[in-house]
Structure 1
Amino acid sequence: MTDSNNVVSIQGLQREPRENKRGASLPAPVVAVREKARSLLAEQVKLLFAKVDDSLFAMAEKAHGQEEQDGLFQALRLLRVERRKVVDQFADNVARAFLVRDSSEDGREDLYSADNLSLVHNDDLEQLVAVDTMVANAKRDFAEPLTEISLRLNTLLSVKIYDKNNPLGPDAICDAFVEASRPLNLHIRARLTLLKKFEQVVMLNLGKIYDQCNDLFVEQGVLPSLKQQRRAARQQQRPAASTSVPHSGAQPAGPAALGGSVTAAGYGLLPVNSGVAPMAAQDLLSHLGALQSHLPGSYSDGGIQLLNVNSLLQERLVDVRQSAALTKVDSDIIKLVEMLFSFILEDRNLAEPIKTQLGRLQLPLLKVAIADKSFFSKGGHPARKLLNELADACTGWQAKDNYESDPLFKKVSEVVARVLAEFDQDINVFSLLLESFREFIERERKRAQKLEQRIVDEADGRAKTQAARARVAAVMDALVAERDLPPVVTEWLNKVWSNMLFLSCIKDGTDSESWSRDVRTARDLVWSVHAPMPESRKQLQGLLPALQERLKVGVEAVSLNSFEARRMFAGLKDVYRERFALAQRITEERARLAREEARDEVREQLRDEVLEEVRAASQVAQAEVQEVVELPQMEELEQVVAEVELKVQTAETEAVPENDSYWQQTFRLAQGSWFELKRGGEEQFRCRLAAVIKDIDQFIFVNRNGAKVAEFTRVELAQALRAAQLLPLDDGMLFERALQSVIGTVRKSRGEMH
């Protein structure tokens, strides 16, 4: 299967068929030419599939990895199955293009409009360049027959025919094929190969098809003498034009190429249609290398401006007394790189001095892009990785006084300077510098992480302490609320067992066995002085030895001094002695009552007295029974602790509605994300989310060096986001963000042109 990231998908193209409504209204010569062109182009597309088949098979055999090979073989099978459908759809699209709309209509649907093109990573950029290149070449190579077709169509149709809406123009034919192949889920290499073969088999042979279409128009009597008229007009214009050619014989550059300026003595950068040979890639690289070597080593406080490469090349060619034109591909690459660096120099993630340094890489990266066409599509390209690494490391960097001496700024400046000095055409320079820079950053991050970890640990410790005290207090309140405990028991709970619970909570948490054991000990201690007597005497006798051992463990754990411990154990012993004495008295009274009841003569005398005494004892026992019943069970104590945890986490949430977008955003913030924090009037700085302290819902922010600069509760954070006091910085690698911005600009411009 192919990787979805390597598949270019053009979606949403559903043109409304209008053949039935408007096909019959076309003039007979147009219909004849339409059918002729449809037949000829369909035959050419059939031929290209055989060539694509051979190419894909050879590519699959030489594929670098299993994933790529699988993708190419899958594309090979798919094209064999779907080729007839693609040919038929292409032919229909060619015919449909003759239903021309004028500029007053809602605009021709464009394959590359912002609504119709789904861009996946960088693959679409290669397709855009491929399509643009073949269209531009065809317009250049077949300008004359295309013009004749446009003029003839203009005499037959009520719609004005121009470059973009010519149904036989390279735009329309290329769009027809791209749309026909749109549903094919192809690996990017397979799709680009398909486009390349379309260019070789169809687009490069359009001249023959145009000639046949013009001949058919002549047979139909449509402007039969047009060619002779145009030839005569050119002959009349040629003498006048020849007088404007400089003495050197070089062609003058047009305004489009030179921004309205005129080259000195005919030297400089000339238009592609001026007749001068396009500059070879190696020559272009040499000129760019010369320009790179003359870039200044440092820049003024105003920072670097985006380089106008065409102007620099113009000056360079004039200096060396040469004239040359740029190929369409090279011209496009220059524009793309300029757009990339325009984004980089405007990126708010980076401080101005850093952007100044990164801007100096424009010419080196332009050289990389011209020499290696995979630069835009290969995410792991060393030059791209170096740029991304530099930008990522500098995201939180701020320019303070004497920033030139800052270690990070000095290292970035050193890397950039070495690229300018050492890079010619060997991209290994980028790999070596990347490795060196990563080692530097790793050392810097380790130093910052030590400070950051201390800050986070301190905040986490405070949060755990706060939460633990709240949970211990909840357990104690549940055990002693509205209970009249002996003072020594209260002292045990306050001095020993609350501290014991606190230690268990901090060390092991409330889900641990040690926490449950210590909570049970506290409950057993309270029960031991409220158990009904004499009914609980045996149970209490069995509990006391184990309870005493657990209390001794607690005394040692909280480091209670021995004097206090002996006093408190003695006091507790006195309480238990009184409890057992009470049980003994009640038992004896009950026995005496039984004996007296056996004596009839005494029973009446003593009844009232004995009954009163037994009633008093029973009331004491009954009161203690009632209190034991009310003592919370372990499950209830666990619930109390859970409610406290929930209360700690949601203490302030009532101030913000649950569906508030900024409140919801606080749950999606990733640890390590960078922000711009504004305080006071104009004070602002960059910070990173270092940690979220869950116990108290606290967010800790640090600067690049690991020092804490801010902390927010969740409610405070939501309010800061709402007030734009805290602004998230863009995620993702700089080059990829820049490339996506460029792609969006290309889509928009193509949509506006069409």
Structure 2
Amino acid sequence: MKDSDNVVSIQGLQREQRESKRGASLPVPVAAVRDKARELFAEQAKLVFAKVDDSLFAMAEKAHGQEEQDGLFQALRLLRVERRKVVERFADNVARAFLVRESSDEANDLYSADSLSLVHNDDLEQLVAVDTMVANAKRDFAEPLAEISLRLNTLLSVKIYDKNNPIGPDAICDAFVEASRPLNLHIRARLTLLKKFEQIVMANLGTVYEQCNDLFVEHGVLPSLKQQRRVARQQQRSSARGPAPQAGQEPGQQPVGSAGMGATVTAAGYGLLPMNSGIAPMAAQDLLSHLGALQSHLPGSYSDGGIQLLNINSLLQERLVDVRQAAALTKVDSDIIKLVEMLFSFILEDRNLAEPIKTQLGRLQLPLLKVAIADKSFFSKGGHPARKLLNELADASTGWQAKDKYESDPLFKKVSEVVAQVLAEFDQDINIFSVLVESFREFIERERKRAQKLEQRIVDEADGRAKTQAARARVAAVMDALVAERELPPVVSEWLEKVWANMLFLSCIKEGTDSESWTRDVRTARDLVWSVHAPMPDGRKQLLGLLPALQERLKAGVEAVSLNSFDARRMFAGLKEVYRERFALAQRIVEERSRKAQEERDEVREQVRDEVREEVRVASHSAVVVDVEKVVELPQMEELEQVVAEVERKGQKAEAEELSESDPHWQQTFRLAQGSWFELKRGDEEQFRCRLAAVIKDIDQFIFVNRNGAKVAEFTRMELAQALRAAQLMPLDDGMLFERALQSVIGTVRKSRGEMH
């Protein structure tokens, strides 16, 4: 174990010992309430697990996928095994909460490490659910909870607030969340567990609070509070039936000097007040109404077109002062306001989008905040209509650039119209986002179809050029291999150049080098070369068997390449003459060999005559031998296939030699996805956005186009790797804007948590 671990362990042990001593010295009334609360909450927790068992079983049977069903059944088994331990931990946590510590303001700050856990992917829905049930409980049980706080304040040396009240909604929720945290539960199972906890425990806090207050009264702690509360309620009812609103006063607005929730609101007290000020938290509907008013009256500096992040708290403060009201925000609403501000801060700094587009998207901050306040699934539901709309607008605008008179650009006008429609028409019905998404998609589809026509023409032309170049290179490789070190009759060379090179080219273009037609045409070219270079007289019989089929294939080639009839007759005649000479050569060699045998048997002839005949024989034989020795063995079909394959790899090998195969930019070129957007820089001034439209594999070429489908750049793989290395070409993030913004916020939060811990 590390020394630091020892220090932490010793400090933890010392803290537990101090808390144990404090627990033992609690005032008798507090200790009695602690034991009573522990007992009541333990019984209620048992009911939670009894109810959640049935719910999870029903959910598992209706699960959409096997993975979800397995997760729910596993959670069901785990809860059955661990329920007793969780109940015990929960009861212990409730009792331990009576060792009250001072409340810290940092705990209420969204930017602190603990509060910012709201935006963690897995915990997001859980924490929103917890904050919601806490806010509801504080609203519903404010009076008995206030009595408990007052009584504890008279007995404890620590100041009691909502946050550190040992049986306040915050503490009870924290106690249960911590007790169930060790369980590895499917997120739906965890949310179901919390929902049952809310229905059985949190919804019945009033009963627990009444019993705890009665126990305090039995011990003589502020027994008159109940009577004071009854009088206060009567005064409130009387006030509610009291004088009509003063001139200029909105309905529901408190007049200057009137009392509300235990605090006197004077003219100086209008505006947004802290949670612990005694003012009742603003109801979600009231908050939405104020945000709606702000939405319809954006500040001039914002609506005039500048990019600006709204300070919602400041705007709410001004709004409440203007209407002469005072209110506080619930913890969850305050967190959501700050979270939306963080998200839009990312959006307004996103380099993927041009400044005018960011200005338009920034105007959606208030409407999307209203969505998040009204619908707590906004952050966790990837398919939420409002998120879809923001993502669609951003995705379509990724390659857009602000040119002169950009206000008249069709895309910019459409984005502006959509944003204006949201601001003008969205109140609380999120269906407007679905309607606008569909309308915007139809517009973008029409735009893309126009661009795709030009883009396809460009890609087809490039692809055609690439296939032509590749086919010519492969045909040349076959021809070079066939004629290498061989002297061919001129008419055969003409056949190869005028007819068979074109036949191979057509086969390669139409069907490729893996096709039967390509193989057949390569074999024909090889047979043609062999037919005029076959060893004689040994190959005479094989040649006689080959010529009829070869002649038919040559006729088919003449028709395929549309060779004119005059050249065809001449070339066939020339080829016929070559074969006549080849067979005549074979005959001469046969006769010469026969004559040689005869001469060897004729030993009785005169010596001089023998010498003359020997010279003739040797001379003739030498000529035939030279002719035969000139024959070089033709490559086999497998060798010709390897030659073609080598040509296909040649370009890549030549480029790869300039960069190491481990070079990250070279490797990156193999991972680029078609359709990805990039920022391309040319010189110090010129830079624009382009999309990878196609990769022409035959020549390893990358084609880039703009939003309209026009070609703006093309690179070989080597050129592309060098452009990426020099930051001349920089990929843009291709993820959905809202999700990237949320991930950025999460990353910031996690970094913050790491620094704080």
**If the length of structure 2 is used for normalisation, what is the TM-score?**
0.79
Aligned 8 A contact 1:678 1:685 in 2: yes
Deviation at 1:81, TM superposition (A): 2.4
Q: What are the Cα deviations for residues 222-276 of structure 1, in whole angstroms up to 9, with x where unaligned?
A: xx99999xxxxxxxxxxxxxxxx9952368999xxxxxxx995543323333333
Paired position in structure 2 for 1:158: none
Equivalents in 1 of 2:726, 2:385: separation in Å? Answer: 40
Aligned 8 A contact 2:270 2:324 in 1: yes
1:313-462 alignment runs, 5 A limit:
313-462=316-465
Aligned 8 A contact 1:676 1:727 in 2: yes
Paired position in structure 1 for 2:660: 657
Equivalents in 2 of 1:752, 1:210: separation in Å? Answer: 39
Paired position in structure 2 for 1:310: 313
Paired position in structure 2 for 1:237: none
Paired position in structure 2 for 1:29: 21
Aligned 8 A contact 2:56 2:73 in 1: no
Paired position in structure 2 for 1:734: 737
Output the amino acid matched with 2:180: S
Aligned 8 A contact 1:270 1:325 in 2: yes
Counterparts in 2 of 1:119 and 1:372: CA distance versus 1, 3 Å? closer
Equivalents in 2 of 1:120, 1:643: separation in Å? Answer: 53
Matched, 1:546 2:549: yes
Matched, 1:249 2:258: yes
Equivalents in 2 of 1:627, 1:572: separation in Å? Answer: 20
SS in 2 for 1:545: helix
Paired position in structure 1 for 2:474: 471
Equivalents in 2 of 1:191, 1:697: separation in Å? Answer: 52
SS in 2 for 1:671: coil
Counterparts in 2 of 1:432 and 1:207: CA distance versus 1, 3 Å? closer
Deviation at 1:673, TM superposition (A): 0.8
1:229-244 alignment runs, 5 A limit:
none
Equivalents in 2 of 1:91, 1:444: separation in Å? Answer: 63
Paired position in structure 1 for 2:83: 83
Unaligned runs of 5+ in 2: 1-6, 103-111, 224-253
Paired position in structure 2 for 1:192: 191
1:668-679 alignment runs, 5 A limit:
668-679=671-682
Equivalents in 2 of 1:283, 1:171: separation in Å? Answer: 23
Matched, 1:127 2:119: no
Deviation at 1:184, TM superposition (A): 3.2
Deviation at 1:707, TM superposition (A): 0.8
Equivalents in 1 of 2:693, 2:268: separation in Å? Answer: 63
Coordinate RMSD, CA, aligned = 4.7
> Among residues 560, 574, 577, which one is paired with 1:574 in the alignment?
577
Deviation at 1:521, TM superposition (A): 1.1
Task: Point out the more displaced range, 678-687 or 367-376.
Answer: 367-376
Output the amino acid matched with 1:694: K
Deviation at 1:288, TM superposition (A): 2.0
Deviation at 1:129, TM superposition (A): 3.1
Deviation at 1:592, TM superposition (A): 2.9
Paired position in structure 2 for 1:704: 707
SS in 2 for 1:601: coil
Output the amino acid matched with 1:729: L
SS in 1 for 2:445: helix
Task: Point out the more displaced range, 435-444 or 53-62.
Answer: 53-62
Equivalents in 1 of 2:86, 2:598: separation in Å? Answer: 114
Equivalents in 2 of 1:246, 1:380: separation in Å? Answer: 45
Equivalents in 2 of 1:680, 1:719: separation in Å? Answer: 15
Counterparts in 2 of 1:590 and 1:96: CA distance versus 1, 3 Å? farther
Output the amino acid matched with 1:189: R
Equivalents in 1 of 2:405, 2:547: separation in Å? Answer: 73
Equivalents in 2 of 1:187, 1:324: separation in Å? Answer: 38
Counterparts in 2 of 1:152 and 1:279: CA distance versus 1, 3 Å? closer
SS in 2 for 1:307: coil
Deviation at 1:53, TM superposition (A): 4.1
Equivalents in 1 of 2:667, 2:569: separation in Å? Answer: 56
SS in 2 for 1:414: helix
SS in 2 for 1:186: coil
**If the length of structure 1 is used for normalisation, what is the TM-score?**
0.79
Paired position in structure 2 for 1:67: 64
Aligned 8 A contact 1:146 1:210 in 2: no
Equivalents in 1 of 2:709, 2:606: separation in Å? Answer: 88
Counterparts in 2 of 1:64 and 1:277: CA distance versus 1, 3 Å? farther
Equivalents in 2 of 1:307, 1:357: separation in Å? Answer: 13
Matched, 1:494 2:491: no
Paired position in structure 2 for 1:51: 48
Deviation at 1:591, TM superposition (A): 2.6
Output the amino acid matched with 2:258: G
SS in 2 for 1:630: coil
Output the amino acid matched with 2:658: A
> Once the two structures are aligned, what percentage of the paired residues are identical?
76
Deviation at 1:602, TM superposition (A): 3.2
Paired position in structure 1 for 2:590: 587
Aligned 8 A contact 2:118 2:127 in 1: no
Deviation at 1:753, TM superposition (A): 6.2
Deviation at 1:693, TM superposition (A): 1.2
Paired position in structure 2 for 1:639: 642
SS in 2 for 1:699: strand
Deviation at 1:407, TM superposition (A): 0.9
Output the amino acid matched with 2:44: L
Aligned 8 A contact 2:38 2:95 in 1: no
Equivalents in 2 of 1:550, 1:601: separation in Å? Answer: 55
SS in 1 for 2:348: helix
SS in 2 for 1:273: helix
Deviation at 1:144, TM superposition (A): 9.8
Aligned 8 A contact 2:56 2:192 in 1: no
Counterparts in 2 of 1:286 and 1:639: CA distance versus 1, 3 Å? same
Output the amino acid matched with 1:591: S
Counterparts in 2 of 1:100 and 1:558: CA distance versus 1, 3 Å? farther
Equivalents in 1 of 2:315, 2:471: separation in Å? Answer: 69
Task: Point out the more displaced range, 320-329 or 203-212.
Answer: 203-212
Task: Point out the more displaced range, 89-98 or 710-719.
Answer: 89-98
Output the amino acid matched with 2:321: V
Matched, 1:533 2:536: yes
Equivalents in 1 of 2:608, 2:50: separation in Å? Answer: 123
Deviation at 1:318, TM superposition (A): 2.8
Paired position in structure 1 for 2:297: 294
Matched, 1:721 2:718: no
Q: What are the Cα deviations for residues 360-382 of structure 1, in whole angstroms up to 9, with x where unaligned?
A: 21222222222222222221111
Counterparts in 2 of 1:290 and 1:119: CA distance versus 1, 3 Å? closer
Equivalents in 2 of 1:95, 1:548: separation in Å? Answer: 103
Output the amino acid matched with 2:550: L
Deviation at 1:403, TM superposition (A): 0.9
Counterparts in 2 of 1:434 and 1:607: CA distance versus 1, 3 Å? farther
Counterparts in 2 of 1:717 and 1:98: CA distance versus 1, 3 Å? farther
Equivalents in 2 of 1:329, 1:119: separation in Å? Answer: 12
Counterparts in 2 of 1:668 and 1:566: CA distance versus 1, 3 Å? same
Aligned 8 A contact 1:38 1:95 in 2: yes
SS in 2 for 1:686: strand
Count the aligned residue pairs. 698
Deviation at 1:513, TM superposition (A): 0.9
Deviation at 1:695, TM superposition (A): 1.5
Equivalents in 2 of 1:23, 1:213: separation in Å? Answer: 28
Equivalents in 1 of 2:611, 2:84: separation in Å? Answer: 116
Deviation at 1:520, TM superposition (A): 0.9
Equivalents in 2 of 1:147, 1:265: separation in Å? Answer: 26
Unaligned runs of 5+ in 1: 1-14, 103-111, 156-160, 217-223, 229-244, 255-261
Deviation at 1:749, TM superposition (A): 4.8
Equivalents in 2 of 1:734, 1:425: separation in Å? Answer: 23
